[in-house]
Amino acid sequence: MSSPQITILIDNTPCPDSTLHLASEHGLSLYVEDDEHRYLIDTGKSGCAIDNAITLGIDITKIDTLILSHGHNDHTGGLQRFLKQNQIARIFCSQYIIDTTYTSTHHGIFHNLTPDADLIRENIHRFQFVNENRLIISNTLSLFKCNNKQQPCPAGNNRLHSSRNGINQPYTAEDELCVCISHRSDETLTSQCHTLISPCSHSGLLNILQAFTRTYNCNRENIHQFIGGLHLLDEYMNIDNVTSLANTLSALYPTLLLYTGHCTGNHATEALSVALQSHFKKFYTGATIPLFTK
């Protein structure tokens, strides 16, 4: 096969090549193909990510793994379309997804972000719920959680809430799963470069990076790329906080390449681009990101 890469099937930012006729939406879905897997990370808000995959020549029927990073419906809304076309993929997500109601108050307007729990229950035999802090799926693919959040989480989380067992509370991202793609062929996952993917990073970029190095006993310089939204929304933007984040990132992870889009606002994107220079890239619908290139 050609060199492994990630394809952004759908993102808030449209594809700059209009001749490809790719839809965009407020949502995120990423397709990854390597020597071991064809897998999807999130499904976007609607079925448009599946349509884009077909347009790009990606065979949905052959995807063997689907990872739902968290319960919000801009990442799970395309599940029904996926299940109609794919009969083989194992689906990994948090148990919380099927018994939690997710809501937001954006600009004072109530939004229901809850996924289709009935659809999940109807296909429960295909789901594997992740309870452990780290789950190794294969030699190249694993999942991990960020439970110990020592640094501040994104301020945009303040407009998010969840309800479980009749208890309403602020959203704490306890359902959030992060993805690690590694070169390593054994379970130690050390001394090799890794790509981390966190589609919304509600737990906070620095917290997620720290959780990875702690959980995997991995050196910081072995994290090659971080790909995902950062939930740094324009209406909650604080330039000093974003600059501080970029400076800390540069100091602790000087070799890291940061690719972001989706829930990273324009002001934060500009600030990160200025601070991180060549270590920062913005993705968009239809973009491809090579894995493990120096």
Q: What is the pLDDT of residue 189?
A: 47
Tens-digit pLDDT profile for residues 217-266: 989 999 999 999 999 999 888 888 999 999 999 999 999 999 999 999 99
Fold of 5-290: Metallo-beta-lactamase; Chain A (3.60.15)
Q: Give the 3-state secondary structure of residue 85.
A: helix
Q: Residue 88 — very low, low, confident or very high, per pLDDT cuts 50/70/90?
A: very high
pLDDT digits 0-9 by tens, 107-121: 778 999 999 999 999
- Statement: the pTM of the whole predicted model exceeds 0.85: yes
**Angle ∠(47,50,55) on CA atoms, nearest 5:** 130
CB 144 within 8 A of CB 211: yes
The pLDDT value given to residue 184: 54
Quote the pLDDT of residue 292.
Answer: 67
1: pLDDT strictly greater than 70: no
One-letter amino acid for residue 177 of the chain: L
